[in-house]
Amino acid sequence: MSLGKEHKINIGYEGLGYAESRNIVCLLPEANYVQVSKSKPGGFWKKWSGWYSSSTERHLHHSKPGSGIDFCHFFNSIQMGSGQWGTTFETLVPFHDQPNLGRFLRAEIEHFSEERLIDRLAHESCKFLIPISQNAANIQKAVLEEYPSQKEVILSKMVVLPPPQPLLIKSYEKPPVRDGIHFMMLGRDLPRKGGIEVIRAFTKLFGDNPSLKLTMIGSLHSQNKRHSLTDEQLQELAGLARAYPSQLDWQEELPNQQLVRKMKGEVHVGLLPTHADTYGYSVLEFQATGCPVISTDIRALPEINDQECGWMINLAKNHLGEAVDSWGEASSRLEAEIETQLFRIVNEIISDPTVIRVKAEKALQRIEEYHHPDKFADRLRKIYLNCGLIQA
């Protein structure tokens, strides 16, 4: 199928979530995007649907696309029905329920018994597999080690394609650091993303640095039991925050336009000292507004942040990039290590704030080189072209 003016190719997609909007929908201006609805499994797959966990089942697409759809492009999902398809994924496919996924990433179990779903990836109807990071590609390869007969054909469909990110400023222009350095952290699950360590480290720094500022957007109430805080912990952190009302601005949410305006015009440095993250989209957003980022070096984060364009908190990791002390009693060691390194890095920035602009310029260059939307669109077209879904 040609992507010319005479005909617009129709690409089916499953939903309009954040990940789909970032990686799939409306990213090629010459294509039409048509939402395809899911249906309940039937026939052979109805027999086996109860075998999968509910979270895995959510990522199985059983419907037959309409006659006007040329192919489907999913996120984390597998097409169980007919029609040509491919999927972009952030960790692995088939997606698994969180307990088993976590155990696999921590190397507590070696593989999953998902051969029927692996067969779908090897099937000729699956045309492409797009991990959004090399880390995700490595995890997928680790999964496929248990399926040698399907491994090579599946790997031949796999192409790493990082998400697009437009530059949100034309050039670096921030308030003078002599008036105070402004840091920001944002995320829906602050405990998992290192919010506890941020509060503790910064409240130790505020007293000796009255011009130091921190904005936090998000909640300490985690939906993940692994990162849930006790009432005593919540009271402790709230007390620390209340002690510095002029330096710590903490809001559970902020409209996106206001958030971007603050990042562009007020914030100097972004924060993502996370325990666990599939990618780290906020790093790209900070960098695109001229804010270099302090992040941990787990999973895909070293692919989008480094010491040249930001600062890295170095943690002990396993072969899949997962922090080794991220579970159970060992998590307290992880928190302590993150807090210690974060405290040191922020102190170094306070001692030499000129480094902020140097790293910010590098971050802007990095967004332009690796995440420019036009370059992303060209790479995506090439993927579609190479697997025969479109013609030049």
| 239-273 pLDDT tens trace | 887 889 999 998 989 999 999 999 999 999 999 99
Of the pLDDT bands very low, low, confident and very high (cuts 50, 70, 90), residue 225 is low
**Residue 391 within any structural domain of the chain:** no
pLDDT at 25: 96
Confidence of residue 44 (pLDDT cuts 50, 70, 90): very low
**Whether the bond into 94 is cis, omega within 30 of 0:** yes
Q: What per-residue confidence (pLDDT) applies to 205?
A: 97
Of 289 and 39, the one with more pLDDT: 289
Beta strands in the chain (DSSP E): 9-13, 31-35, 60-61, 71-75, 78-79, 85-89, 126-131, 182-186, 213-217, 248-251, 269-272, 293-296, 311-313
Bridge partners (DSSP) of residue 184 are: 215, 270
Instruction: Write the single-letter amino acid at 107.
Output: A
pLDDT of 4: 47
User: What confidence category does residue 45 fall into, taking pLDDT thresholds of 50, 70 and 90?
Assistant: very low
Please tell me whether residues 124 and 159 are part of one structural domain.
yes
Residue 280: φ, ψ to 5°? 115, 55
Q: Is it the case that residue 33 has pLDDT exceeding 80?
A: yes
Same domain, 315 and 189: yes
Residue 218 is given by DSSP the state S
Q: Are residues 187 and 335 in the same domain?
A: yes
4 lies in some domain: no
Q: Please report whether residue 1 resides in a domain.
A: no
Would you call 214 helix, strand, or coil by DSSP?
strand
Flag whether 343 is in a domain.
yes
What is residue 12's predicted lDDT score, i.e. its pLDDT?
94
pLDDT at residue number 56: 62
Domain annotation covers residue 229: yes
- Pairing mode, strands 269-272 and 248-251: unpaired
Q: How many domains does the chain have?
A: 2
Residue appearing with tokens 């396993």: 318
Q: What is the pLDDT of residue 51?
A: 44
Same domain, 209 and 344: yes
Q: Does one domain contain both 361 and 382?
A: no
pLDDT for the residue 236: 79
Collapsing DSSP to helix, strand or coil, 264 comes out as helix
DSSP type of residue 164: P
Q: Do 38 and 107 fall into the same domain? A: yes
- The kind and range of the H/E element at 343 are helix 331-351
pLDDT value at position 52?
Answer: 46
Residues 109, 41, single domain; the answer is yes
Tokens of 142: 């680790």
Query: For residue 228, what is the domain's CATH number?
Result: 3.40.50.2000
Tens-digit pLDDT profile for residues 182-222: 999 998 888 889 999 999 999 999 999 999 999 999 887 65
Structure confidence at residue 238 (pLDDT): 78
What is the overall mean pLDDT for the chain? 87
pLDDT value at 289 more than 60:
yes
- Burial per residue of 3-13, b for 16 or more beta-carbon CB atoms within 10 angstroms, e otherwise: beeeebbbbbb
Contact 8, 32 (CB under 8 A): yes
Percent over 90 (pLDDT), the chain: 67
C-alpha span between 272 and 141 (Å, rounded): 27
Name the pairing type of β-strands 311-313 and 293-296.
parallel
The answer to whether position 40 is within a domain reads yes
Do 190 and 216 contact (CB within 8 A), yes or no? yes
Tell whether 82 is covered by a domain: yes
pLDDT over threshold 60, residue 226: no
Mean pLDDT on 299-327: 93
One domain, residues 86 and 210: no
Task: Clarify whether residues 224 and 307 are in a common domain.
Answer: yes
> Does residue 153 sit in the same domain as residue 93?
yes
The pLDDT value recorded for residue 146 is 87
Average pLDDT over residues 344-364: 98
In a domain, 94, yes or no: yes
Is it the case that residue 343 has pLDDT exceeding 60? yes
Higher per-residue confidence, 66 vs 147: 147
Tokens (6 digits) for 279: 């990618």
The residue segments making up the domain with residue 235 are 177-370
Is residue 88 predicted with pLDDT exceeding 70?
Answer: yes
What's the DSSP call for residue 172? -
Count CB atoms within 10 A of the CB of residue 244. Answer: 19
Q: Nearest CA to 124 among 153, 148, 100, 97?
A: 153
Q: Looking at the structure, do residues 193 and 158 belong to the same domain, yes or no?
A: no
| Whether 191 and 121 share a structural domain | no
The mean pLDDT value for 107-129 works out to 83
| pLDDT reported for residue 212 | 98
